[in-house]
Amino acid sequence: MSYSSLRACVLDLEKNGHLIRIKQEVDPNLEMAEIHRRVFDAKGPALLFENVKGSPFQAASNLYGTFERTEFIFRKTLDNVRQVIEIKADPTQLLKRPLHYWKVPFTALSALPMKSRFGMPVTYGETTIDQLPMIKSWPDDGGAFVTLPQVFTMPPRNNNIMQSNLGMYRIQLSGNEYEMNKEIGLHYQLHRGIGVHHTEYNKLEDDFNVSVFIGGPPSHAFSAIMPLPEGLSELTFAGMMAGRRFRFGKKGNQYLSADADFCITGRIVKNKKKPEGPFGDHLGYYSLEHDFPVMEVDKVYHRKDAIWHFTVVGRPPAEDSSFGYLIHKLVGPLTPQEFPGLVGINAVDASGVHPLLLAIGSERYMPFREKQPEEILTIANRILGSGQTSLAKFLVIAADDDDPNLDVHDIPRFFQHVLERVDWKRDLHFQTKTTMDTLDYSGSGWNAGSKVVIACRGDKRRELATNLVDNFSLPTGFSNPKFVAKGILAIEAKAFTSQDEAGIQMQQLTAHLKQFELDATPLILVVDDSDFMAASYNNYLWATYTRANPSHDIYGVESFVEHKHWGCKGSLIIDARIKPHHAPPLIEDPLVSKRVDTLFAKGGSLHGIV
């Protein structure tokens, strides 16, 4: 058995040297987030804030601040859950290796949620929204947010707990037009289970009851973010990861997580929306203010020793990167089952996850003829047609028979492999006027943009350059060429003003570059700051793929359209400049940063932590 509460986890981390207590009063308005970011960046310990200004409750963050600590938290159950997933992927393994998988039936028993029979710790006391730690992470955030909520809903007129949905949807506690203690904002995006329930309730007169859980055993927060198939309750996964069945109960018509630290109950008001946001999000930019559903608050329950569990998101990597790491470790065995022919897949964390997806697929269609992308195109379509992977904007897929040792998680090596082989005349496949991730503002509208599949297969075509060709020059308005990596060149340009002006600029650039032999430089980036782009590989991944809309921002030397297929004979060019319609990037408040400096300086209360 693992942890029965968040407090048990915190005490265990402290006992094993993974957590420190911050005893002095800390302001939840920007200051706590600034401390969190600094400790996370230094790979420091988990944090327990014992004195949160304006709140009687303690708060904990950075529990998952390193991959190692995340595995430590789930050390008693991770292997058991992985075995269950392996059996799901291949049930014959249970017959072939019964001794190896002897724990699987017992792990499966913990997956069944149970009604609490001996009271619910979460109902120890009641409070109000304004007494919660009102944590604001970034200067332009619209208010205080719950950053690790578990939002629970049931289908209408259904009491089968196995049909529930538990999702991590952003909750705004204050600011904008919300009436304090009576209303909170509920933000959910595309491909979210709560949307299915919301649609069903809109057809009826029934109240759409919602419960928001905060805290509880660590597995509960993780299960809320786990991409499970529709119809499979997250409560089952929470039980397995905790090694302890998910305990629930009811107060009137509202469901409660018995072991949560806090539970906010209420209902979504039909046909009522209010502005939600902005919010500094995991792409490294603000998600802007938009109208989202409003939740009327009934009760705010809390347990006796309640801890407010929060995180701080921003430009990746951040603490939530550990969730992606854990998901990969667990669902790897299911990949071939979910995507036949898929060998490996990586939603690149440094790019904000959805903007860039790398994949490796098998090629078995025509082994007797010249290599070209065939099966990997089928796999790419399957990826873009399935759940969360459908949000990918740039999907780069390679064939496993070109290099059996290729690894999607060795990102520089993966790009080198692709750029050594790619044929821009053949390997680009666009989807225009389609949906995009809600948080990605690089497209042509909210949730609207394009996608591109780069499907690469074949023998090595070129050696990649790391130096400019002789007599290389640039047209007026372009400057400071810098290599980001082998075969990837960044070029500065004037600030982006409009799509029409960008088209003229790119026409001038491509016409000028045509005179040079640039086959060894197959990818060129037009950027605001080439020094920044070349400073680190993560800068390249983040700035390029969060700031480009494939249909609008991809150009090429000697480009052409042939039977509606777009390609180019020379280098591919991505306009990765910041556009006027983009959301602003996240920048710390300098006054708060200066105040926090004193805490970490010699003689300060946090000196020596990082």
**Long-range contacts (CB closer than 8 Å, 24 or more residues apart) made by 196-201:** 196/155, 196/165, 196/230, 197/153, 197/154, 197/155, 197/156, 197/165, 198/153, 198/268, 198/293, 200/155, 200/156, 201/156, 201/268, 201/270
pLDDT exceeds cutoff 50 at 191: no
Q: Domain limits of the chain?
A: 6-76+110-309, 333-456, 478-575
| Cα first-last separation, the chain | 33
Q: Which range is least confidently modeled, 203-207, 469-473, 565-569, 583-587? A: 203-207
pLDDT, average across residues 124-128: 98
Whole-number Å distance between alpha carbons of 161 and 115: 10
- Sheet of 554-556, strand order: 478-485, 488-493, 523-527, 572-575, 554-556
Q: Name, in order, each residue with C-beta under 8 angstroms of 515's C-beta and a sequence gap of 6 or more.
A: none
Under the banding of pLDDT at 50, 70 and 90, the label for residue 115 is very high
What are the helix and strand counts (H, E) for the chain? 18, 30
Q: Taking 60 as the threshold, does the pLDDT of residue 230 lie above it?
A: no
Close Cβ partners of 443 (under 8 Å, ≥ 6 residues apart)? 436, 449, 450, 549
For residue 304, count CB atoms less than 10 angstroms from its CB and return exposed for 0-12, middle for 13-18, buried for 19 or more: exposed
Q: Which long-range contacts (CB under 8 A, 24 or more apart) does 581-586 make?
A: 581/441, 582/285, 582/441, 582/442, 582/547, 583/278, 583/285, 583/286, 583/287, 583/288, 583/441, 584/140, 584/285, 584/286, 585/284, 585/285, 585/315, 586/138, 586/280, 586/284, 586/285, 586/286, 586/314, 586/315
Q: Using one digit for the tens of pLDDT, what is the confidence trace for 54-104?
A: 999 999 999 999 999 999 999 998 888 888 777 776 777 777 787 777 777
DSSP letter string, 477-521 = TEEEEEEEETTEEEEEEPPP--HHHHHHHHHHHHHHHTTS--TT-
Burial class (CB in 10 A: 0-12, 13-18, 19+), 277: buried
* Residues in a beta bridge with 485: 488
Give the integer Cα–Cα distance in Å for 213 and 263: 5
Residue 337 pLDDT: 67
**Cα(34)–Cα(18) distance, rounded to whole angstroms?**
20
Cis peptide before 317 (omega within 30 of 0): yes
DSSP alpha helices (H): ranges in 137-284?
Answer: 193-201, 218-225, 234-242
pTM above 0.85, yes or no: yes
CATH 2.30.110.10 given to domain 6-76+110-309: yes
In contact, 184 and 264? CB cutoff 8 Å: yes
| Stretch among 85-99, 132-146, 256-270 having the lowest mean pLDDT | 85-99
Residue 608 has pLDDT above 80, yes or no: no
- Could you please report the per-residue DSSP string of 124-140? SEEE-GGGS---B-STT
Question: What's the chain's average pLDDT?
Answer: 91
pLDDT for the residue numbered 73: 95
b/e per residue 103-142 (b: at least 16 CB within 10 A): ebeebeebbebbebeeebbbbeeebebeebbbbbbbbbbb
Mean pLDDT, residues 232-253: 88
- From residue 55, give the alpha-carbon distance in Å to each of 155, 214, 216: 35, 16, 19
How is domain 333-456 classified at the CATH fold level? UbiD C-terminal domain-like (3.40.1670)
Could you read off the pLDDT of 512-541 as tens digits, one per residue?
Answer: 999 999 999 999 999 999 999 999 999 999
Please write the tens of the pLDDT for every residue from 349-362.
999 888 999 999 99
Q: Give the span between the Cα atoms of 141 and 128, in whole angstroms.
A: 21
- CB-based burial of residue 230 (10 Å sphere; 0-12 exposed, 13-18 middle, 19+ buried)? exposed
Q: What is the pLDDT of residues 143-153, one digit of tens each?
A: 999 999 999 99
What pLDDT is stored for residue 89 in this prediction?
Answer: 66
Spatial contact of 97 and 272, defined as CB atoms under 8 Å apart: no
Q: Compute the distance between CA of residue 233 and CA of residue 240 in angstroms, rounded to an integer.
A: 12
pLDDT greater than 70 at residue 365: yes
Distance CA 423, CA 519 (A): 10
Confidence band, pLDDT 50/70/90 cuts, at residue 418: very high
Q: In the prediction, which pLDDT does 190 show?
A: 47
Query: Taking residues 529-558, what's their average pLDDT?
Result: 97
pLDDT digits over 454-502, tens only?
999 999 999 999 999 999 999 999 999 999 999 999 999 999 999 999 9
Task: Give me the percent of the chain exceeding a pLDDT of 70.
Answer: 97
With a cut of 60, say whether residue 201 has pLDDT above it: yes
Whether residue 575 is predicted with pLDDT greater than 60 in this model: the reply is yes
Please compute the mean of the pLDDT values over residues 377-392 and round it to a whole number. Answer: 88
